[in-house]
Amino acid sequence: MLNNIGLPGLLLIAVVVLVLFGRGKVSSLMGEVGKGITAFKKGVKDGADEYDRAAEDAAKPIGQSPAEDAARAQAQTNEALRDVTPQSTDRS
């Protein structure tokens, strides 16, 4: 059914839509469609970048033993706690 529309049929549909909705409404609708396509492309690109980062992280070699990994994680935790722990102030 849709295979037989052709160019004259598409032009007729375009004219009917233009008459029904007006030039301003159709133009704003096309602007919104363009913004949607741009947002979709950005989302796909961000998803691909996130996937690539996860693949790189998974490919990184891990420590020699679980004990070394645990020690490194504990050192990072201690460093982070040192950054947020208030320093003692002497109020004499």
State mean pLDDT over 26-30: 88
Residue 56: which of 45, 66, 44, 48 has the closest Cα? 48
* pTM greater than the 0.75 cutoff: no
Q: Where are the domains of the chain?
A: 24-54
Q: How confident is the prediction for the chain on average, in pLDDT? A: 81
Write down the pLDDT at residue 40: 95
Spatial separation of the C-alpha atoms in residues 43 and 9, rounded to whole Å: 35
- The lowest-confidence range among 13-22, 52-61, 78-87 is 78-87
What are the tens digits of pLDDT across the range 29-74?
889 999 999 999 999 999 999 888 888 877 766 656 677 778 888 8
Per cent of the chain over pLDDT 90 is: 21
Query: Cβ(63)–Cβ(73) under 8 Å?
Result: no
